[in-house]
A and B are shown apart, each in its own frame.
Chain A
Amino acid sequence: MIEIDAISKRYDGVPVVDNVSMVIEPRTVTVVVGTSGSGKTTLIRMINRLVEASEGAIRLDGEDNRSIPGYELRRRIGYAIQGHGLFPHRTVAQNIATVPGLLGWKKARIDAKVEELLTLFQLEPKTFGPRYPHELSGGQQQRVGVARALAAEPNVLLMDEPFGALDPIIRAKAQEDLLAIQKHFGTTIVLVTHDMNEAFHLADKIAVMDKGGVVQYGPPAELVRSPATPFVETLIGDAERPFRLLSIAKTGAAAEPGDADGAPISEDRSQQEALADLIWSGRDALPVISKNGVPMGRVTLDAILKRAARPR
């Protein structure tokens, strides 16, 4: 659990982050969104003390983050940034082994960890371990960057626009991978982005920042249903509202008993995908199946549209 308690950061008296308080639950993905200069990067950099707070405190599992030296704190918190920040003179394996090396792990343990992470990120250890970062594609570099951040098995992973430099297809894949990794390790992830689609796709909770303050902090659905300020409304976008609601709900939740013709849809696809399928195939209803392929009834166009409508 990360408790951010009335934290502020001022440069020459000008507040960049202004009196922010929020609690980040363990094993969740929290996405911090906002425009450039809203203070979102500064906020997460205060968690691992790359930026020292002017006022307030941050506690990790109840322990003040200033109770140990900054570099020791940062070794316990994963950190991944846009453009990966890999060390160009070190191989992929050496890059990933950096933090375990700093922590003084035994060589055998480090090697095992590197191999485990490379395998987990679908990079063949024998092929990719000895390569240098510039010999990898952008997507591979980004995966190595995240693998390096996770090497010392941190409870918390901070990510600053980690997918910003990737093309849309690789970005979507990277987001799926991140969610899978988060389930696998149970890591608490705090991710900064300005891409609202990414935020809605990844977040358990979204914190919207504007002019140094958090204007709304809650589950994605809450942001759509009851935006706290006009800024949040603008950020979500008028034309996007119904689709955002559908994008964060699973098809299974809209399933009802009954039959339908044609190709079925899996219960874990989003309702937005169900709607797209309904429109594209010109049907009124789709058969729904569970992840194991067991029929679960159907989902109708009406039901989906009702769910996309403004809540009353």
Chain B
Amino acid sequence: MCQHGPGAQASGFFIGGESLIGRDGLRVRFDKLGIVIALLAAYGALWSSFATLKPNRIVQGKAGSMLDSLPAWAGWALIGVLVVAIAAALFRASPWIKLIAAVAALAALTLSIGYAATFLTPAGNTYARVSPASGFWILLFAFALLAADAITRLDPPPGMRVLFLLLAAVAIGALLMSGSWNGLSIMKEYSGRADVFWVEAGKHVELALGSLFAAVLVGLPLGILCHRVAPLRDGVLNTLNLVQTIPSIALFGVLIAPLGWIATNVPGAAAIGIRGIGVAPAFVALFLYSLLPVVANTVVGLAGVPRAANDAARGIGMTGRQRLFKIEFPLALPVILTAIRIVLVQNIGMATIAALIGGGGFGVFVFQGIGQTAMDLVLLGAVPTVVLAFASAVVLDALIEMNSLVPNGARSA
């Protein structure tokens, strides 16, 4: 039943394919992940609704299918594109074909949802809101998965991956600039808050990157110290572990008192923005959460430096500092960069909570949205956060790969 053709060995991910037509070398095989993607997409397209029309921004709306949400020609065109893309996912084909199919499907989906918004909104009605429904999100996920799988199988070099990311960013930027999404509720939420949105975006990035930077500045030397002074190691790591287990909201609460005290009693502290609530406690909390990964990975990275290499470095006359910078640090760098990647993604997500104590960031929209039961406003905070975290993960992964100068296997040598 299950036949392994010459192509079966070509990719490590797919164990085998099922032969559909066995005619003289022309074989069509199912792609296993493709089956999952196709089922998911079929469910999203056939059994879920595509767009929701609400009379105003806070009431429940009425969800409709693709054909309900779009004019007939556009509805059928979208279905046509999706069917072709599902076919590309379902059968074994070159990753390039799958990537192009996925990108086409994603483009068709994003354009259609914008068009649906214009189509569904009654003319002149400024209260009605159109937002994507579950089917849209499922389809988006399915084809994003197809694109990600295709890119993984293409195995592009790190620079190429960043280029893909840039292309995607340009495409999304163009989509937003073109105004084709302006009818969508999330964009209507944005248009009323455009100024605030960018201010909060700036605060969000500042919080996430600033606390990361501070954590690296403190964590690296601390990690090196823990590596060199063994008795210190357990104490420091356990303390940081303990900090990590404190829920973020509790940590904010705990920080209010001491920071408030500093603000009133230390001259100049209030002037540089230290207060019991606001950016300061959020910054300190993110910083504290970031310390454990940085310190722990520095210690692990340095401990992973081969003993013989270290001994030889000393034996041929390197000073302690030369050993640290020329041998230990370069060898530990990929592990340390991994920590920085973890911390950055974690901080971008967690900075959302800073809004709770007046720290600003995308969380402002999330909490406002929850307060007003306006889910579109929640999305205005959540979607950029996810996009930002994803983008920084891709960039840092590329950076890590570029920095492991030695090809695989060096550690075991």
Contacts and interface: CB of A to CB of B under 8 A. Distances in A.
The DSSP consensus for interface residues of chain B is loop
Contact of B312 (A86, A89, A134): A86
A73 B406 CA distance: 31
B315 A74 contact: yes
Contacts of B409: 134
B225 interface: no
A99 B407 CA distance: 25
B306 A79 contact: no
Given A81-B308, A85-B308, A88-B413, A134 B317 contact: no
Determine the interface band of chain B, counting residues with CB < 8 A from chain A: 20 to 34
In this complex, the member of A74, A85, A134 whose beta carbon has the largest number of chain B beta carbons within 10 angstroms is: A85
A71 B309 CA distance: 16
Contacts of B86: none
Nearest to B413: A134
B316 A99 contact: yes
Interface string B293-312: 00000000000001011011
B412 interface: yes
A102 interface: yes
A26 B412 CA distance: 38
A74 B308 contact: no
Contact of B317 (A74, A81, A87, A158): A74
Contact of B412 (A79, A87, A134): A134
B309 A102 contact: no
Given A50-B314, A71-B317, A102-B317, A88 B331 contact: yes
B314 A74 contact: yes
A75 interface: yes
Contacts of A89: 330-331, 405-406, 410
A72 interface: yes
Interface string A62-74: 0000000001111
Contacts of B317: 71-76, 99, 102
Interface of A: 48, 50, 71-76, 78-79, 81-89, 98-99, 102, 132-134, 141, 145, 148-149, 158
Given A73-B317, A78-B316, A89-B405, 12 more contacts: A75-B316, A79-B316, A85-B309, A85-B313, A86-B413, A87-B309, A87-B327, A88-B410, A88-B413, A89-B410, A102-B318, A148-B312
